[in-house]
Amino acid sequence: MIYSLRRKFILISTISVLSVLIVIFVIMCVMNYMQLNHTMDTLVDAIVSNDGVFPKRDKTGRPFPSGDAPHKDIITKETPFSTRFFTVWLGSDNSIINVNVDSVFSITEAQAQSYVENAQKKMRERGWVYNYRFRIFRSGDGTTIVFVNGEMNRMMSNRFLLTAFLVLMGSGIAVLVLIIIISKRAVHPIAESYEKQKQFITDANHELKTPLTLILSDLEIVESEIGKNEWLDDMRCEGERMRTLINQMVTLSRMDEDHANLCMCRFDFSNAALDTVSEFQALASELNKELTAKVEPSIEYYGDEGLCRRLIAILLDNAVKYCDDVGEIKVTAYRKRHLIIKVENTYSGVDNLELEKLFDRFYRADKSRTYDGSFGVGLSIAKAIAKNHNGDIFVYKNVQLIGFRVELK
């Protein structure tokens, strides 16, 4: 149980941390993409506003005021290693009038036409065509499409994201290691409380069994001397009831251990299920309840045969006790992906049941807790048996019917 609790703590903490890191990385990706588009759009807009050519700049890198003539010692031509772009002018009928590829040497006029076709297919004013950011500018005379190379910007952006990803991944691994280290300390108070609880049950078992055995033995002696009477019978009945309760508490405590002592072997589950059902046939008939079984033949299962039989017996015992008068009990077992066991019985008061509490220890649907031979721990033991076989048990209801479905892996 403690190992399982520690594993759940590690799993939940890891999922929480990874979720936060993933959200951070996604936000960084979105912001980085928006910043890249903004940077490229600024360049594109500058070219569009300058009639499709890059603004001339002085030696300081500032553009000329419009209309100013460049001086002889001022840079008047953009170098091919700064901003690579090309411009395409289209007529009113979308035919190419002119192409300017002077600022980029890797694009021919034929390739430029292909870029224009891809840009027009996107049906947007701005966008990406391969590594080029484009803008479509329409005026009365025609259309201007500017393509600016963003390969370098994209490469820098991808490097930044890769670095961020590695940093976040390293941080996640470091946090995971810390979670694993501190998980033992985190569950220590629960583990200590659980160990004390187990020790209490063990001590109570020893302390109660000895006087209980003496009481029952003395009852037999008294009964042999004075004969049977109703008071002695009541005392014996209550003594046996207490012994049963003690045994069930010890069993439940052992089933909660992380490594319960299971006698694992391969056995014929079909025969085991049918044998268990046959043991309840006489009781069901005596109570005017119809018990039927539909078990798929030759089901082999690897598990603890004794506990599997007990699991079915607990469900059948529960079904017989709470089945309506002249009701029906159905047992079904078959194999799909896993071994499936179903036990259903008719029960008119099913709508009044709190299904989510049926597996709670010492829970009984009868609020007055009138003794009917049960203590409310049988279904808890059944759930523990299913868990120890890497399975689970579920309860469901239908119209005047309650059923239990067990999946054993």
67 phi and psi, to 5 degrees? 95, -15
Contact status, residue 342 vs residue 405, Cβ threshold 8 Å: yes
CA distance 203 to 182: 32
Q: How far is CA 79 from CA 56, 85, 307, in A?
A: 11, 11, 83
| Residue 20 pLDDT | 93
Query: Percentage of the chain surpassing pLDDT 70?
Result: 82
Contact status, residue 64 vs residue 88, Cβ threshold 8 Å: no
pTM above 0.75, yes or no: no
Q: Which is more confident, 75 or 95?
A: 95
pLDDT band, residue 201 (cuts 50/70/90): low
| pLDDT value at 378 more than 70 | yes
Pairing of strands 328-335, 290-295: parallel
Cβ neighbours, 10 Å, residue 380: 22
| Residue 64 pLDDT | 45
401-408 sheet: strands from edge to edge: 290-295, 328-335, 339-346, 401-408, 392-398
Query: Nearest-CA neighbor of 407 among 327, 324, 277, 311?
Result: 311
Contact status, residue 63 vs residue 57, Cβ threshold 8 Å: yes
Q: How far is CA 406 from CA 79, 268, 311, 387, 409, in A?
A: 75, 17, 9, 10, 10
- The stretch 47-53 carries a mean pLDDT of 76
- The stretch 218-224 carries a mean pLDDT of 80
First CA to last CA across the chain, in angstroms?
Answer: 19
Least reliable range by pLDDT among 96-100, 162-166, 176-180, 366-370: 366-370
Contact status, residue 64 vs residue 54, Cβ threshold 8 Å: no
Query: Nearest-CA neighbor of 262 among 306, 199, 300, 202?
Result: 306
3-class SS at 408? strand
| Residue 185 pLDDT | 80
Query: Percentage of the chain surpassing pLDDT 90?
Result: 20
The string of pLDDT tens digits covering residues 286-314 is: 888 888 989 899 889 998 888 888 889 88
